[in-house]
Structure 1
Amino acid sequence: MGKIAFIFPGQGSQYVGMAKDFYDEIKESRLVFEEADDALNMKLSSLVFEGTEEDLMKTEITQPAVLTASIAMLKALEKEGIDCDYTAGLSLGEYSSLVKSKAMSFSDTLRIVRERGKFMQEAVPQGVGGMAALLGLDRIYLPDVLEAGKDYGIVEVANYNSPEQIVISGELKGIKISCKKAIELGAKKAVELPVSAPFHTSLLTPAGEKLRRELEKITINDLQKTVISNVDGKPVETKEEIVQKLVDQVSHSVLWQQSIEKMINDGVDTFVEIGPGKSLSGFVKRIGKSMNKEVTTLNINNVDTFRQAVEKLTKGA
């Protein structure tokens, strides 16, 4: 086995009941939820396990909820003595990777992502912004797709997820026009996403500046693991870089494909997705295939998949 990367999902992966089996069966995971309840001075665990989908969709709840579920699953894995060489996370998931690297404490990170969620939601009025996934669009046509929507508002690339998937974000009228153009130019699908704000666009620049003020209040430590940053697809070299990269991340494209390519080129051949959902594993498989590289993906989103992953990782050690 080559090098191992732990990767963490972002907003959109959440669901009511996520990580409940970890809470029930694994002490280390339960302690994570208890710490979250204390740090936020609210029963986040009750919202995650027994709340409504509507509550969990509120960005200021979603972000600490996904972070907590991911770290609860991570602690179960660490208890088994399994570790990584690299770590990265998609958008919000980058905060989980920073907790894993010990650059930020879990309790500080919880409070930061709750504020991040508020700032992102407040930056653009409800109903003005949106996002859409473009599947199977030849990248050569991307400038034309963005240009088509710009007469109707800001339209920018939010995520480079895989060779087959790009996410665009911006003002809703422009997004709709760009989606039509993408289909005309050969995209297999253009799917508007059920999100409440145009994440990762210049429209969220004010949110990034508010986030900076919160990040400057907390202690940031030297990294204990190699973290690949969303904003440039490169390793974070020093703790001093972290605040600026997290500020930029709010309003810049997420270079997920480039991040995975960097890790594969550095010798990572096993990617362990830790947290709700399993979309990142699909992206990694497609990126590896496009590079003609053999990669193994393991997904941990419930206790059964956790046990399967532990067996495979300990056998390969």
Structure 2
Amino acid sequence: MAKIGLLFPGQGAQYVGMGQDLARRYPKARALFAEADAALGFPLSELCFTGPEEELTLTANTQPAVLATSIACWEILKDYGVKPAVTAGLSLGEYSAHVSAGTLDFAEAVRLVRKRGEFMESAVPSGQGTMAAVLGLSREEVEEVCRAAAGMGVVEPANYNCPGQIVIAGETAAVTAAAELALARGAKKVIPLKVSGPFHSRLLAPAGERLAGELARVSLSDPDLPVVANVTAQYVRDKEEVKDLLVKQVSHPVLWEDSVQRMLADGVDTFIEVGPGRALSGFVKKIDRRARCLQVGDLSSLQNTLAELEGVG
């Protein structure tokens, strides 16, 4: 019997048209998008289905859009009897993971990540902070490069995605200096990311403080299944821990590689990426190429995954 871990994507996975074929085919998906529209007071579903892309990619829109699409995919999968042992999500995806685990109400989560997006976008003035993916260096080398560039301003590791891919974030000049040092150290490539701020760096601490105020008003339940937290790569089983971890997550690095290793060590052999995109499956394969990676983001991938799961029993 497969031991399943659910993986939920973060910001950057969005695309115009996501969720549309599932909403046409499944009343439950349609109802979830309608619930998200009502929770926000504007037609988020239209943004997901038809764009425009420049509106969808605004952080405050992307975050609820990716969450709504991910949970629509999960609810359909759940109706087919898929039973995960554990769940995790990258950055924004951690909220989807908590919805899937029953910690957080869906409509509440949609409103919360909309606010989270607004707070993250406004924490650092436009152009003053950025992020870049460093390819081909170890985590120790990336950490050293960030320390060496600190004279130019704040720069630090933001996402430990997988071996050889670490994202750095901080003040624009410092990130540029760290990128040059990384290339000099032998990095294969440094890719600037199209983001509106230096997410998961200490520059986002003000956004975390504002988010704490929103989270204080939200009612949580103990998770029905273990959720791996981004900032610790450990399981969360108690609702009392959740709010503090979600606040910290905004301004602390995402330990994604460690999170996947945690699940692998506990016998997870099948990962299902639930929601738009396939980036997380790519990371898992680089962490352990023996892991089975499936994905559910549209009708076709849903059918393929259900067929695969039937085959593994």
**SS of equivalent to 1:230:** coil
- Kindly indicate whether residue 55 of structure 2 is the aligned counterpart of residue 59 of structure 1: no
Q: Is the 8 A contact 1:124 1:204 kept in 2?
A: yes
Kindly report which structure 2 residues correspond to 1:235-254, keeping only aligned pairs within 5 A, or say none: 235-254=235-254
Residues 86-109 of structure 1 deviation map (CA, whole Å, 9 limit, x = unaligned): 000000000000000000000000
CA distance in 2, matches of 1:102, 1:299: 21
Q: Is the 8 A contact 1:2 1:267 kept in 2?
A: no
CA distance in 1, matches of 2:10, 2:312: 28
Q: Return 5+ residue gaps in structure 2 as ranges.
A: none
Q: Residue 139 of structure 1: CA displacement?
A: 3.0
- Kindly indicate whether residue 152 of structure 2 is the aligned counterpart of residue 152 of structure 1: yes
CA distance in 1, matches of 2:306, 2:170: 41
Q: Among the aligned pairs, what percent are the same residue?
A: 47
Q: Residue 28 of structure 1: CA displacement?
A: 1.3
Q: Residue 133 of structure 1: CA displacement?
A: 0.3
Residues 265-312 of structure 1 deviation map (CA, whole Å, 9 limit, x = unaligned): 0000000001111000010011114xxxx2100011211011010111
Amino acid at match of 1:276: P
**SS of equivalent to 2:288:** helix
Q: Is the 8 A contact 1:134 1:179 kept in 2?
A: yes
* Residue equivalent to 2:308: 312
**SS of equivalent to 1:268:** coil
Q: Residue 218 of structure 1: CA displacement?
A: 1.2
**SS of equivalent to 1:254:** coil
Q: Return 5+ residue gaps in structure 1 as ranges.
A: none
Kindly report which structure 2 residues correspond to 1:263-302, keeping only aligned pairs within 5 A, or say none: 263-289=263-289, 294-302=290-298
CA distance in 1, matches of 2:140, 2:222: 40
Amino acid at match of 1:266: D
* Residue equivalent to 1:261: 261
CA distance in 1, matches of 2:62, 2:140: 35
CA distance in 1, matches of 2:116, 2:143: 30
CA distance in 1, matches of 2:251, 2:149: 18
Amino acid at match of 1:231: V
Amino acid at match of 1:8: F
Q: Is the 8 A contact 1:138 1:187 kept in 2?
A: no
* Residue equivalent to 1:220: 220
Q: Is the 8 A contact 1:138 1:186 kept in 2?
A: no
Amino acid at match of 2:305: A
* Residue equivalent to 2:234: 234
Q: Bigger shift: 93-102 or 47-56?
A: 47-56
* Residue equivalent to 2:110: 110
The total of aligned residue pairs comes to 313
CA distance in 1, matches of 2:142, 2:82: 40
CA distance in 1, matches of 2:169, 2:185: 18
CA distance in 2, matches of 1:139, 1:263: 20
CA distance in 1, matches of 2:259, 2:35: 31
Amino acid at match of 1:58: L
Amino acid at match of 1:32: L
CA distance in 1, matches of 2:193, 2:140: 23
Question: TM (normalized to structure 2)?
Answer: 0.98
Amino acid at match of 2:111: R
CA distance in 1, matches of 2:6, 2:38: 26
CA distance in 2, matches of 1:124, 1:212: 18
Q: Is the 8 A contact 2:89 2:97 kept in 1?
A: yes
Q: Is the 8 A contact 1:149 1:173 kept in 2?
A: no
Q: Is the 8 A contact 2:11 2:63 kept in 1?
A: yes
Q: Residue 4 of structure 1: CA displacement?
A: 0.5
CA distance in 1, matches of 2:83, 2:27: 19
Residues 2-46 of structure 1 deviation map (CA, whole Å, 9 limit, x = unaligned): 410010000011111111111111111111101101111110011
Question: TM (normalized to structure 1)?
Answer: 0.97
Q: Residue 76 of structure 1: CA displacement?
A: 1.2
